[in-house]
Structure 1
Amino acid sequence: MRASDRAYATLHSDIINWRLTPGTVLGEVELSERLGVSRTPIREALAKLTAEGLAEPQSGRGMVVSKISLDHLDELFELRSALECRAAELAAKRGEPEIFSALHRQLANAGELITEEDPTRADYYQLAADLDVAVDAAVANHYLAQALKNLRVHLVRVRRLGKDNPARLRDAAREHAAIALAISNGNPAVASAATTVHLDNSLRHLLSTAA
């Protein structure tokens, strides 16, 4: 792997997982020393992060981790609705019912994975990611799948604004289960409607907790 790719992968992970918080200065010298690469790969990595919207220039401070503004949540969820509802519709038409039936069974019991003993919610988030992967595969549309992939980078960061509330996550698990069931039943309209319900509830929760 090229040095710039290694630097990008590390910084990308640090940003979306909030190890580098919004507003953190991304100094070339400091990053070069920390990651053990020259400044040229760091510049290339920062350019890629900037193109993705994860880093941005700030006057007098150089490059910083981009901020997450509540003002942008509505815009983000408008795009999310357009992409995810259409993806759910296509998955219901093109997907293999058995795959989504199995995901429905797992998601219906996902509330048991959300405990205070596991503050990372790793098992639950992996199951939600498995649903995303299954939908992307079922859609069989490279451009739509790529657009969703780019969008999810920002959604991972936004999730932290909701403070990983256990009650909301259990509701979200049930909403994901409903989406999987509608897709497994081959019903595009219901799949889209279930996705709309999930997105509306998610946005309302984010706005209420992050305000």
Structure 2
Amino acid sequence: MSTPKILVVFYSRNRSTEQLAQAVAEGAMELGAEVRLRRAREVVGPEVMRQAPGWLENATTMNARYEAPTEADAEWADAIVFGTPTRFGSISSELKAYIDGLGGLWFQGKLNGKAGSVFGSTSSRHGGNESTLLSIYPTMAHLGLIIVPTGYADAVMFKAGTPYGATHVSNRDADKPDDDHLAVARFQGRRVTGVARALQGEREAVPA
């Protein structure tokens, strides 16, 4: 059986979602997956970014660290794991712009049968983590992805995260993900990889 290929594509402004993404990638690699870790790019210019302290500087640093996600990355992957900060209870525009650019692959049926999962973070308690993850579920369904939630399939899920995916509350960027939240993200990476491996032999048999 071939090595599962996992695309972890995220947007992060102040590193909380980035750290969850790194942990998801680590979990996938624990099960032998080949991982591509990509950061979605800004959809506004520097003049807007300068209005939020640290945004431009952090973006510059992270964009030097990660390649931008491409359509080819999504076609390559057996599973796609999306990561986003909460934006008014929903997905960030940066990540959504990348997903919207996958219409060509969707039209050709090339995403059908791949595994899909999502994780995220928010600045404030009750700031919309669960609604944000759930807002991406319909999008994954439209793409033809097989949605892989975390559920309560590991004991660590009773300490942190949600049954929909790994999450974190940064308390206005004062707190970074702790060991429990990172453990949930690593579990999510392992879980998605296991499902992707099981699906590898099935995708070709499912009509587009």
Structure 1-normalised TM-score? 0.27
* CA radius of gyration, larger in: 1
Q: Indicate the structure with greater strand content.
A: 2
Q: Indicate the structure with greater helix content.
A: 1
